[in-house]
Chain A
Amino acid sequence: MRNPFKLLLPALIPSWNFFDVIAPSPRIEYALLRSVGDASGDWREFRPRPDSVAPLAMLARLVWNPRWNETLFLVSCAERLTDHPTPHSEDEIFKRIAADLAGEASRERGDAERPWLCFRLVFVSRERETIVREVLFQPAPRRLAEIVVA
């Protein structure tokens, strides 16, 4: 467990270097697998953004934006996993994917033939004029039923 005063220090002496460089941007993809070594998984983007958000919805999100803020937290976890991996960030991503699967697509959670959940981090960046995607992290799969989502 990290020392909270060390975590507080960058807030008390901030760097304020917002968007100084546009770094490769992580996307989380997940798949349900038959077994730990299964390579037949159908990789899907976790929480793909909608085609558009209406201005009124943008206004409403000023005061109620939990899902998007959680997605931004997962972006931080993804960046932490490639910078200095910790079990915490991996746990958080597994937990929140499992929670979404439990809440929104119960038939996927109940897929007895594919009881293993895995995710991978795809980093999107620009090389000259081309957008490139590269998988930089993929943990060992976990049994979906054993992931605690409380």
Chain B
Amino acid sequence: MTLNAAVRLTEALLALALIQQSLEHLVRFQSERALFGARIALCVLVIAGVASPWPLVGLAILSLAILQRFEGPYNGGSDRMGLLALWCLTLSRLSPTPPLKELAFGYLGAQLILSYFISGGVKIVNPDWRSGRALRDVFEFSAYPVGEDLRRWADRPRVLLAMSWAVMLFELAFPLSLLSKPTLVAGLAVAGAFHLANAGLFGLNRFFWTWLAAYPAILWLQGRLFH
């Protein structure tokens, strides 16, 4: 995948993800409609490839206004990944030379790898994660399970112990998937399934779409580093 194709695919997928998020804001409060209506319009221009890179620049500026409106990200980590992708794409498009374009876009790919690797690292040093206790706590009393019936999973310590280790080992091993294109595709398929499960069980749908949107960056980076 060429740099230009990967950037184009990432910006289109990100624009779709941002449209999905923005539509959710249009139905609630009038005071949010102007911000998110403008974001939808800019995303449509990005998808259509009109006046590039200015719609991306507009989205980056608008992201600052949205951050200020909510005094931070509206939905934590997923919004932060969306912001990272948006600003990397914008900087890549605005960069005057090919190496700088690669640097800005490669940073997104590198951060995507770190998002799994560091998440695995901070878990495995915690005895509660190694014993399965942390995941039991997630199901037992955290704010995330979408239904009360899911809290009963806390009564299955062996299953949660296995799930904890599966998550930690996958996250820590993820960088190894970069060794070849087939292993990376397999790694991303597992990661996508992981995000899908989180979307279903914990209602984290924004993570699913935002991480998916950034996958072309890692596919491009793998080709750039190993070919």
Q: Min CB distance, B107 to chain A, in Å? A: 9
**Number of residues of chain A lying within 8 A (CB) of chain B:** 56
The answer to the question of A82 belonging to the interface, with a C-beta cut-off of 8 Å to chain B, is no
Q: Min CB distance, A124 to chain B, in Å? A: 5
Asked if B24 and A25 sit within 8 Å, CB to CB, the answer is no
Q: Give the chain A neighbours of B148 by CB distance below 8 A.
A: 49-52
- In the bound assembly, the distance between CA atoms of A7 and B67 in angstroms comes to 7
Q: Min CB distance, A61 to chain B, in Å? A: 6
Asked if A17 and B145 sit within 8 Å, CB to CB, the answer is no
- In the bound assembly, the distance between CA atoms of A17 and B138 in angstroms comes to 15
Q: Give the chain A neighbours of B74 by CB distance below 8 A.
A: 69, 73, 76
A-facing mask of B198-221, CB < 8 A → 1, else 0?
011101011011000000000000
**Given the contacts A63-B20, A66-B24, A76-B72, A131 and B140 also touching, CB distance less than 8 Å:** yes
Of the candidates B64, B70, B81, B199, the one whose C-beta lies within 8 Å of that of A73 is: B70
19 contacts between A and B (CB under 8 A): A8-B83, A11-B73, A11-B83, A12-B84, A15-B118, A18-B122, A19-B123, A19-B134, A20-B126, A22-B137, A22-B138, A58-B199, A63-B205, A68-B146, A73-B75, A76-B72, A80-B72, A95-B29, A150-B30
**What 18 additional pairs, Cβ within 8 angstroms, besides A52-B148, A63-B20?**
A8-B64, A8-B87, A16-B114, A16-B115, A18-B119, A20-B122, A20-B126, A21-B126, A21-B128, A22-B128, A52-B149, A58-B146, A61-B199, A65-B205, A69-B24, A70-B28, A72-B143, A126-B141
